[in-house]
Structure 1
């Protein structure tokens, strides 16, 4: 039995897909959901709980809870409660849970290939840490940049005629089609422009990549929670402060339920014009509308669209020269983002059901395409040797005509602002989820 697994390790949530006997990748359902929370809880006895289990345990002792391990990748060690843990061990716990759920579908067979996705601007240090965290989980581990995985998935899903049937794509001086990937995740916004590098539909190179680590789906949740507080807190300000700040176990449990209800309201507003948020006593239920939500997030969504325009410009292209702008990540369901992209670029963006699963599904297709692509012709002595176990198969290649993306000023090994502490070494600026 051949088992291949791809894990899209995200800031707030993680997606897992599995392919058994070469069949099409299928999303692994964990705790009844297509996504698993990336959260980790370190119990006093050394047990590391992951996902919903970690979120439930967090109500007991929040100091032992880390909701976003990916943001801490540069810190080396984490203090959870009274335990000091290596970041790679915390990430390993998330990846191990993901792989174990995938193996369950394959009768607990060993994983032959584990594909991990990462931001395109993650350099050698961060990708090495990610690879180390996957140690012992599969016979072979390979890495794929997130925008490349997204581009491969969409290229495999849409024919060019489907993408361009309603508009004319301007010619550019680049061979092959180019497209932009706007990834609105739980904790970050990332934009990359990729171009087909030739050799079939799975060969893509990253031309430019930019990111905003200060905004994501979790920030939308927080903004909506504060808006709800503004609607109901006047009934009993002291009770509201106790609800959102109280340290008693009962307060933490009520707060956890409230945050789940607010997140559900956000998702409902992607499909309907209004919804109600159930509130605990002594508060009345809160009525919220899509218009309310759009006012709260108009500024950060506008920044995301401007970031998209800037990445396209850095790639030496105009929006009209793109084959498509693809929206991925759970927050891409917000209708306002599609509207803003269309208004400011002139391109109607493309998305799919379950956009948060696109990167993981595309990652397996990308690696499968790399392995199926024939080696270039040439004398036998010059034929490249087959890749070694564990060797990364997908690389970022910047064409000579493509400007390098801008990165924050500072020492070469300093991570982009917002990606955790700068206490540990960060990746070099030249790669990127």
Structure 2
């Protein structure tokens, strides 16, 4: 008879880690380390982990690199349809469950402990619970615990400690106080959801491209025109270089195009200079929470970077925990074994009787007075690395992840409500449907020349009625419930012969209805592959090259605009939000950006704005909300407002 076993799931932005107990002694070991990304095939099958990254080039709109960033929403946009977030996350959980059962003679786990970030609300945690249920996990076996508590129970000791969890997608710093029976209580928490391993990867990417353009412009030009798989190989080489510099003092980044291979040399000193702003941000967030000498434990996949530890040693006694990538999952099982995790029934009880959607509030810690000098603290020796470390712990390269989750096409920030509202909702939707149909008929009669098939506008709150698409739960969004429905001009992108450069009007045959004719006529080279043309955007992006025009005003360094990027349809608003916020610049401090609010959307006029960091690349964006279309231009340096206005007027984008 098989021994009872326990499972823990640490679902991260980039990577999911599963741990389990093994053998008669119940020793805790790593079970699985896999990318959190998913890919939804046309038949609704959800592909997870490394296989999802492999399939992404088939149809980028079906690839979801960071499902966790949709945690405030019930549905996620997938290639013009939507799918429940719990179903997407559940597919990754199912992979872990299957791996565990395979090692335990097919028996289900006795308990399944799911970790979550400290600031999450009960509804957000319940999304993970629903995901576990869809994966085949028995709800009665589910326990929950916050990530910093799990890490502290696994790695830390002392009456007052701190956890710095520097992962692939986010930074979380937490102070905790020891409680009886081995428990810990969170006393203060802070963090930055825009800071993580992806931020560092993309700073390295920017450095690499700048170096290539300076020293080998012909290779840079070839790389910009290279197929997506070449770009991904370069990105992986950049990521591997970052990993190698945690142990070595120098490395190389390799680019191979058309039988030509070139290596760019990178030293650890150069690397530390490139990421200095990121490391400084971590220290700035940690300092107010810590008294000198407070034990600070580093966890997360990015915690191995040597200069991070060196910088934090100035304000705390630092310990890099054994295997920082898996500490949370291991600690979750240890907490369950000690009886320190929360069963789901208790979570329901708390929600029902407290009348709140949040966990008990964390008392803010009183920030200590900053020390006059940052003397170097004694550093503890890290514990030995356990033997159960998985072979592959490298996070996949993907578009950078941004501080706030993108808005799905039909987002909903409130979960389905009580049954007593069901009948009222159905009746209301029927009425809205009738009004929408009538409005649609009237509008289409007024515009008989509009041959493009109308597409539904994006809903602004709760999801519209849906219809099933395949057995896996993909749904298509129905028309908006707005009392004043409009006919969308959005048409499908022509992706045939995706590598071919053809006019924009042939790729997207309704652009002449809202883009200026001069701009459309200049857009003669547009590809039909929405691959990683722009790795700083979380949605599929298409690329066009403008025709050379010696008379066009220059925006920076006497260089005319060459390429621009465009996002149509359901993803246009997501792109606009990322661009408007400035997050896509990946600046370490958004308050230092130079912003331009050039024009508000009004009727046929688009919204126009710009964001530029102190150095490196920024952009100008143009958003047509009524036509669900966003386009933007990357620029190196900060152009003046006069230069921007002159270019936009020259291209007839503004009058």
| Superimposed CA distance per residue, residues 225-252 of structure 1 (whole angstroms, 9 cap, x where no aligned partner) | 2212222234664753563575xxxx12
Task: Indicate if the aligned counterparts of 1:275 and 1:288 stay in contact, CA closer than 8 A.
Answer: yes
* 1:425 has 2:413 as partner: yes
Give the distance between the partners of 2:40 and 2:210, measured in 1 at CA: 34
* Residue in structure 1 matching 2:332, options 357, 360, 363: 363
Question: Which runs of at least 4 in structure 1 moved beyond 4 Å after TM superposition?
Answer: 234-239, 387-390, 392-404
Q: How many residue pairs are counted as aligned between the two chains?
A: 363
* 1:263 has 2:239 as partner: yes
Deviation at 1:149, TM superposition (A): 0.4
Task: Indicate if the aligned counterparts of 1:206 and 1:398 stay in contact, CA closer than 8 A.
Answer: no
| Superimposed CA distance per residue, residues 381-432 of structure 1 (whole angstroms, 9 cap, x where no aligned partner) | xxxxxx866545999766878569xxxxxxxxxxx962444954389xxxxx
* 1:149 has 2:150 as partner: yes
Question: Per the alignment, do residues 309 and 111 of structure 1 end up closer, same or farther by CA in structure 2, a change over 3 Å counting?
Answer: same
| Superimposed CA distance per residue, residues 170-222 of structure 1 (whole angstroms, 9 cap, x where no aligned partner) | xxxxxxx011100000010001111112x222x11110111101111011111
Task: Give matches, 1:235-384, under 5 Å.
Answer: 237=217, 240=220, 243=223, 251-281=227-257, 282=260, 284-312=262-290, 318-320=291-293, 322=294, 324-343=295-314, 345=315, 347-370=316-339
Task: Indicate if the aligned counterparts of 1:188 and 1:215 stay in contact, CA closer than 8 A.
Answer: yes
Deviation at 1:22, TM superposition (A): 5.5
Give the distance between the partners of 1:371 and 1:195, measured in 2 at CA: 14
Task: Give matches, 1:405-424, under 5 Å.
Answer: 418-421=404-407, 423-424=411-412
Give the distance between the partners of 2:224 and 2:339, measured in 1 at CA: 50
Question: Per the alignment, do residues 61 and 11 of structure 1 end up closer, same or farther by CA in structure 2, a change over 3 Å counting?
Answer: same
TM-score, normalisation: structure 2: 0.52
Question: Per the alignment, do residues 396 and 257 of structure 1 end up closer, same or farther by CA in structure 2, a change over 3 Å counting?
Answer: same
Question: Per the alignment, do residues 111 and 390 of structure 1 end up closer, same or farther by CA in structure 2, a change over 3 Å counting?
Answer: farther
Task: Indicate if the aligned counterparts of 2:174 and 2:186 stay in contact, CA closer than 8 A.
Answer: yes
TM-score, normalisation: structure 1: 0.77
* Residue in structure 2 matching 1:62, options 38, 44, 60: 60
| Superimposed CA distance per residue, residues 75-133 of structure 1 (whole angstroms, 9 cap, x where no aligned partner) | 22112224411111111111111222222221221122110110000011211111111
Quick check: 294-303 or 10-19, which moved more?
294-303
* 1:226 has 2:206 as partner: yes
Structure possessing the higher relative contact order (Cα contacts under 8 Å, 6 or more residues apart): 1
In the other structure, the counterpart of 2:637 is none
Give the distance between the partners of 1:270 and 1:426, measured in 2 at CA: 42
In the other structure, the counterpart of 1:5 is 7
In the other structure, the counterpart of 2:478 is none
Instruction: Please state which structure has a larger fraction of its residues in helix.
Output: 1
In the other structure, the counterpart of 1:112 is 110
Give the distance between the partners of 1:49 and 1:352, measured in 2 at CA: 32
In the other structure, the counterpart of 1:27 is 30
